[in-house]
Amino acid sequence: MPICQPPEFFSETHLIGRQCRELMLDSEHFPVLRKAPFIWVGYSVLRAPYRIVRLRSVHSHIVAPVAGAGRALIGGETVAWKPGQVLLAPIGLHHAFAVEGPGPWTLAWVFFDDRESAPALQGRQAELRTTDASDFISAVQMLTREAAGAAQPAKRAAARTAAAERVAAGTRCAGAVGKARRGLIMRCVRGRRSGGCPCEEAALRRSEA
């Protein structure tokens, strides 16, 4: 249910806070992400006063809450945002979200490298989609933990590649953009793909080897 529109959601803001913790991979240091194409993949544990406001987002992105509560600007209204709702935020649009209360609020997220290519997501505004994002969250967790962990370099690199391909499988196999790509991404997030994806199956086989 919509709540009051806070004025701080209408001013460009990037407020992280000292108590926030983020694990992040970028495509410059992890080139496998470019195949998706992702520019950043991350996992964040956030506390007040965390708040992000972008009046014109420079990348499309998908954000899935893992635990805790936040709020997001959707259709000009501020709404409660809880686990089980995935944010789809197309490039070039106003979007905003913040932790609700003191936190912690945990998020898994990916940003697409689509500034100079066809948009990965399309729409006239950001939206919250109710869905089971457990597979998406698990793949992001695997990526960030393996990248930050103390495993042997070769095994760590293999795990990163497998996890990145699991997250990216939908976009690599879509062969299309816009609504078709977004729908395929969301079906991959839900883990209810029909048929089967060779990229995803190969990544799963490697991760289980």
Dihedral over alpha carbons 49, 112, 39, 104 (to 10 degrees): 20
Could you please state the CATH topology (level 3) that the domain comprising 7-203 is classified under: Jelly Rolls (2.60.120)
Phi, psi of 168 (to 5 degrees): -85, -10
What is the distance between the alpha carbons of residues 85 and 66, in angstroms, rounded to a whole number?
A: 10
Angle at 201 between CA 141 and CA 36, to 5 degrees: 60
Q: Which residues contact 185 (CB under 8 A, 6 or more apart)?
A: 62, 120, 121, 170, 171, 174
The pLDDT of residue 5 = 56
The pLDDT of residue 192 = 31
The pLDDT of residue 32 = 84
User: Is-contact 101 48, C-beta < 8 A?
Assistant: yes
The pLDDT of residue 11 = 78
Phi, psi of 113 (to 5 degrees): -90, 80
The pLDDT of residue 89 = 94
The pLDDT of residue 204 = 40
The pLDDT of residue 187 = 46
What is the distance between the alpha carbons of residues 39 and 53, in angstroms, rounded to a whole number?
A: 19
Positions of the chain with pLDDT under 70: 1-8, 149-209
What is the torsional sign of CA 40, 46, 50, 52?
positive
The pLDDT of residue 133 = 92
The pLDDT of residue 99 = 96
Burial of 11 (0-12, 13-18, 19+ CB in 10 A): exposed
Spell out the domain ranges in the chain. Answer: 7-203
The pLDDT of residue 152 = 45
The pLDDT of residue 66 = 97
User: Is-contact 188 170, C-beta < 8 A?
Assistant: yes
